[in-house]
Amino acid sequence: METQNRQKKIVEMFNDIAPTYDKANRVLSMGVDIQWRKRACDETFSRYNKPIDLIVDVACGTGDMMGYWQKQAKKRDIEVGKILGVDPSRGMVEVAKKKFSEFEFVISEATKIPLEDESADILSISYGIRNVVRREEAFREFARVVKQGGYVVILEFTKDEKKEGLLYSIKDFYMNKILPTLGGIISKNKEAYEYLPNSIEGFLTSEMLSSELRDAGFESEFVKSFSMDISTLVIAKKI
């Protein structure tokens, strides 16, 4: 019951900030997340050379990652049958539908994806796995949905080993002081943006994330951190 209530509270928080989410995200990330997302798509496409029937973006939010899957596929002349967004937040999905009318969306949690076994070629989750309370259950669900030889692609703010130096001190100050204040001003919900650095501190390192994926049946092929370890990309193949 406690786990259920915690997940419900997180979903309600995203419902609340949905109308201002895109604006806050662009300001707070200074646009660098765009390059991280494109890199995730390109690195995955370079590894998967089979016909792509379905890309599923879990915790799709307002649909940005789905847009980059489409854009980067077109650049490579890759045909994608369908791109599906899955998210438990109705508020986020309503914004996504307005931005991307060409895509399909379903309201669902990461642990209960309404798809048949081995139906997705690629499953991505960008800055969302940290918000999934039953994470290991979600990874098992990803393994059920992804085809043999398909990929799970994760972009996330992973917990890093504490490093010394001026730049890392500036990064910590930004994440813990400036980001909650700016996010609070834009969204009028400071608590939601205080949640971000706190949730990162309580999350996994990239090594721990790869280990949990391995337990679910995936083997990490590409792991890279960006921008002083703020964001990490993990691409794992279903084995």
Residue 169 is assigned to a structural domain of this protein: no
**Domain total for the chain?**
1
CATH of the domain at 49: 3.40.50.150
Instruction: Round to whole Å and give the CA distance between 69 and 72.
Output: 5
Which residues constitute the domain of residue 234?
2-161+204-238
Query: Using one digit for the tens of pLDDT, what is the confidence trace for 203-238?
Result: 678 888 999 999 999 999 999 988 666 789 999 999
Residue 131 is assigned to a structural domain of this protein: yes
Residue 173 is assigned to a structural domain of this protein: no
Over range 18-32, report the average pLDDT. 75
Residue 181 is assigned to a structural domain of this protein: no
- pLDDT at position 25 is 72
pLDDT at 83 exceeding the cut of 60: yes
- pLDDT at position 172 is 66
Question: 146: which strand partners?
Answer: 120
> 3-state DSSP call for residue 236?
strand
CB burial string 62-90: b at 16+ within 10 A, e below: bbbbbbbbbebbeeeebebeebbbbbbbe
pTM above 0.75, yes or no: yes
pLDDT at 88 exceeding the cut of 70: yes
Mean of pLDDT over the chain: 87
Query: Using one digit for the tens of pLDDT, what is the confidence trace for 119-177?
Result: 999 999 998 898 899 999 999 999 999 999 999 999 988 766 555 566 556 666 666 66
Structure confidence at residue 192 as a pLDDT band (50, 70, 90): low
Residue 33 is assigned to a structural domain of this protein: yes
Residue 56 is assigned to a structural domain of this protein: yes
Question: What tokens appear for 32 in the block?
Answer: 């660098």
